[in-house]
Chain A
Amino acid sequence: MQPFHYLAGLVAPLDRANVDTDLIIPKQFLKSIKRTGFGVNLFDELRYLDEGYPGQDASQRPLNPDFVLNQPRYQGASILLARKNFGCGSSREHAPWALEDFGFRVVIAPSFADIFYNNAFKNGILLVKLSEAEVDRLFEEVAANEGYRLEVDLEKQRVTTPFGELLEFEVDDFRKHCLLEGLDDIGITLKDEDAIHAFEKRHRAERPWMFREA
């Protein structure tokens, strides 16, 4: 996983609540057996005016000029500003894969759905929870200022606006550590291999019906 320490980046606003993972990456693109290449279909139904299918040449597709990511002022954005309950719905990790592949490393919102929250951090994406009032204000500032950029510092757990305002955010120690170091969870867990074996032995003795092969 790519580590994340600090990012100063252009902000794109997506002003709708309950953005679900079907909207982030529609199901027809879930048929891929790869982890990469989903960025071109991020928000597919919002971004294009036609129906997308896997393997298509996206450069030939009609863009929806009203969609925020198609507007010239937001080209190159690496921070997505969103509303509450972002990432609700299915467990598809294709959603963070698509965000990351498109170029987003940070999503800021008042709240995120649980499974998406897990999946994003495992793919080097930092999810920043700010209060509804703070997010409201950021939406206003983005709209009013072309080229609006934020600085996001994971070590210090704070977001700095172009006007020098500091917004602090919470992130749990484990996720922060993994993201700063770019650590692979499986390697960390396997350091406890002995504890897992010991648990498994006891569990099997207590509840043998959980094991199909005795």
Chain B
Amino acid sequence: MSGQTLYDKLWSQHLVKERGDGTALIYIDRHLLHEVTSPQAFEGLRLAGRRPWRLDANLATPDHNVPTTLVERAEGNAGIKDEVSLIQVQTLDDNCESFGIEEFRINDPRQGIVHVVGPEQGATLPGMTVVCGDSHTATHGAFAALSHGIGTSEVEHVLATQCLLAQKMNNMQVRVEGELGEGVTAKDVVLAIIGRIGTAGGTGYAIEFAGSAIRGLSMEGRMTVCNMAIEAGARVGLIAVDDTTIDYLRDRHYAPQGEMWDAAVADWRRLVSDDDAAFDKVVTLDAAEIEPQVSWGTSPEMVTGVGGEVPDPDEAGDDTARTGMIRALEYMGLAPKQKITDIRLDKIFIGSCTNSRIEDLRAAARVARGHKVADSVALAMVVPGSGLVKRQAEEEGLDKVFLDAGFEWREPGCSMCLAMNADKLGAGEHCASTSNRNFEGRQGYGGRTHLVSPAMAAAAAIAGHFVDVRQFDSAGEA
């Protein structure tokens, strides 16, 4: 009999009961909440006269709707000008207070994007099951935690029962072997993976990312990779525990201390796939072949290297792909065979649960230092993932670097990743964005999103069009 995958181990460690109808009851260790997908769940609890099963499993913070300018944030919730957004944030505050759930409110220094906050606090630990009413919960899989997004009905279910009714997924391993080139980041790796397997390539699978290039990533980089597993269709992305994982967690607020830390670490060390584990599917990429990526279309699979060009629909594989490509190019205002480096940008967004951690900001600042945002760029903004990321960046002087270069330095939140607050694209505007989705209208009605790494976004801000960040310094402001 073959060994177990990491996913198999996590599944069996949380199995409360097999139900005999293909579903199982799975215990949930950590439940993260935000304002958008929780109000109807709390309302459901109330209507049924139920209480949360285990309060200390829950942690909440508002992120999607919060404004990001200092002026608005200085007023707390009252600074939220959109009345409907304000009600939603207040409803989270009220629900957390009345049910007794810990919440980092709008101006708490620990507030931020829920997928930045969880790991930063050590509220996400290896071996946990972590869920949240948000598809980017896959992020937490970077810690070998079985993590995935759920809908609002399931938010209510977890609150009421501490469990989910689930079906076991299939196992996929994506191996990235070798060394990444200079200037090639975790974001480029995951975009290249999605480009390879497609936006539905991981449907029904838990993907474990492995190989020497993945092992070489920091925790921030690993979170970026797992975060976008969902853009390949996989609810779950996982990376095995190693020293990098353990070093990151030491002394985090909710991480165990003293003897319990030692016991936990001994347990966490076993959170790796067995050498003889069988995967239902294995995909391998050569790290050396990955170049900085830029998405050109309206699905994350519509991506290519910065040295490439917009594809020609006439060369598409089938009719559905061709019509999809034609529609995408029309929406994006791009022509077949146009060079990626000829795409001009109107706005730059550095932020989101994909790329707003300290390492992301450092990478962008390294490129921006000593340069100026191009005059043709109407807005370049940097939105840290949490209050604590912001504070650390300011201690390192990164805010000055961005401000000197002409970027705006904002307060933490989801911001222009999905434009539920005031940060959005105008119709027809092209944006170099470090976020995760380039869907039609995602960043604003008629807005055109190009997904890139933080370094690529910063370089594009300076040049006013896409440039290969690997040649950026020598090429100057080409």
Contact = CB atoms under 8 A, between A and B. Distances in A.
Answer whether A and B are interacting partners: yes
Nearest to B321: A17
Contact of A85 (B162, B199, B440): B199
B203 A111 contact: yes
How large, as a class, is the contact surface on chain A? 35 or more
Given A33-B39, A88-B200, A91-B149, A185 B233 contact: no
A89 B135 contact: yes
Interface stretch (B151-159, B355-363, B458-466): B151-159
A189 interface: yes
Contacts, number: 197
A93 B151 contact: yes
A18 interface: yes
Contact of B25 (A17, A26, A189, A208): A189
Contacts of B441: 22-23, 26, 45
A114 interface: yes
A164 interface: no
A23 B440 CA distance: 7
A92 interface: yes
Interface string A111-146: 101110011001100000000000000000000000
A23 B27 CA distance: 33
A3 to B, nearest CB: 16
B71 interface: no
A111 B165 contact: no
B48 interface: yes
Given A31-B88, A210-B125, A111 B440 contact: no
Contacts of A209: 125, 255-256, 260-261, 263-264
B267 A196 contact: no
Interface string A12-36: 0001111010110011101111110
Given A27-B418, A33-B87, A111-B203, A185 B157 contact: yes
A196 B16 contact: yes
Nearest to A20: B439
A211 to B, nearest CB: 6
B197 to A, nearest CB: 12
A45 B440 contact: yes
Nearest to A84: B200
Contacts of B260: 208-209
Contacts of B440: 22-23, 45
The 3 closest A-B CB pairs, nearest first, are A209-B256, A119-B151, A93-B151
21 contacts: A18-B299, A31-B65, A31-B82, A31-B84, A31-B87, A45-B440, A96-B151, A119-B152, A119-B153, A123-B153, A174-B23, A186-B48, A186-B156, A186-B160, A189-B165, A190-B160, A195-B16, A195-B25, A196-B163, A209-B263, A210-B125
Interface of B: 14, 16-17, 19, 21-23, 25, 27, 29, 36-37, 39-40, 43, 48, 50, 53-56, 64-65, 82, 84-85, 87-88, 91, 125, 127-128, 133-135, 137, 148-154, 156-157, 160-163, 165, 167, 199-200, 203-204, 230, 233-235, 254-256, 260-261, 263-264, 267, 299, 320-321, 323-324, 327, 418-420, 427, 437, 439-442, 445-446
